[in-house]
Amino acid sequence: MLAKSKLSQETELLIGPETALQEEVWENRIEATYSIRAFRELQKEFPNLNILVGSSTYRMFGQGEQKTATARQIRDEDIFYDAYNSAIFIPDNGDVEVYHKTKLVPGAEKTPFPKVMDKLANLMLDFGGISGSLGSENKMSQFVLDSKIITPLICYESIYGDFQEENTNLIAIITNDGWWKNTAGYKQHFAYARLRAIEQRKSIIRSANTGISGVININGEVLEKTNWDEETCIAVKVSLNNRKTFYGIFGDYIGRLSVFLAAMLFIVVFVAGRLKK
């Protein structure tokens, strides 16, 4: 394992990119998954190690259990399951936890009329991982590492600044930038992470397939980063911040206020024009 060369007995968190695990991960028996068992063996060597990694996951619905709107049926069987783009957190002490991506990519992960459009999306688009309408139901949106709280963002979610999570200490972005290939897209995607750091005044750790992995401090300054399509691992000590920003509490108030003022201006101009007539 590439990361093992950078681990020490003091390392608290190891982060891997989106869709890093390539096997089928069934949440109903996640502890029995080969990758999870391999990570558990790694934690025996490094007892303080917590692991956050991306994967496509699946959840089987039991008899009588309410199914989600995006549930899929196994062919010729009365068995239903749902598919997710997930962040898996493996704590050094405790059960494995899973966060499901909520802001899904239109056309690739979320489509209208999924029974028809999913088939078309699978033929036309390939963004890595599972295609078609994914589930987004969540039981949690943060991971707790001792007394430190980590907010995971998966790929496309990092372009949204208006997320309001209370008591976040650290933001972890995992992404698969491989479908950008060597274009300006992966650079722009990394730049969004710097905006999130400034808005929330939180350090950001970003792990990307083929894109730019790196660490950004609370001022949006890049402390360390990788090159495009570079197979490597970096070890960095990050600072945590418990303070909430005005933006973090109230969200994108400037944008909402601008939309309101624009609507009012449009109404005033429209009414004034009608009165002149």
On whether the CB atoms of residues 205 and 179 are closer than 8 A, the answer is no
Residues 194 and 114 in one domain: yes
Residues 64 and 87 in one domain: yes
- Read out DSSP for 126-156? --SS--SPPP---S-S-EEETTEEEEEEEGG
Residues 176 and 261 in one domain: no
Residues 101 and 206 in one domain: yes
Q: What is the pTM of this model?
A: 0.87
Closest CA to 137 of 78, 215, 83: 83
pLDDT tens for 161-206 read 877 666 899 999 999 999 889 999 999 999 999 999 999 999 999 9
Distance, CA of 211 to CA of 195 (rounded, Å): 17
* Domain assignment of residue 273, given as a range: 252-277
159 CB-near residues (< 8 Å, 6+ apart)? 189, 192
Q: Using DSSP, state whether 45 is helix, strand or coil.
A: helix
Residues 133 and 267 in one domain: no
pLDDT tens for 234-271 read 999 999 998 888 888 888 888 889 999 999 999 999 88
Residues 103 and 121 in one domain: yes
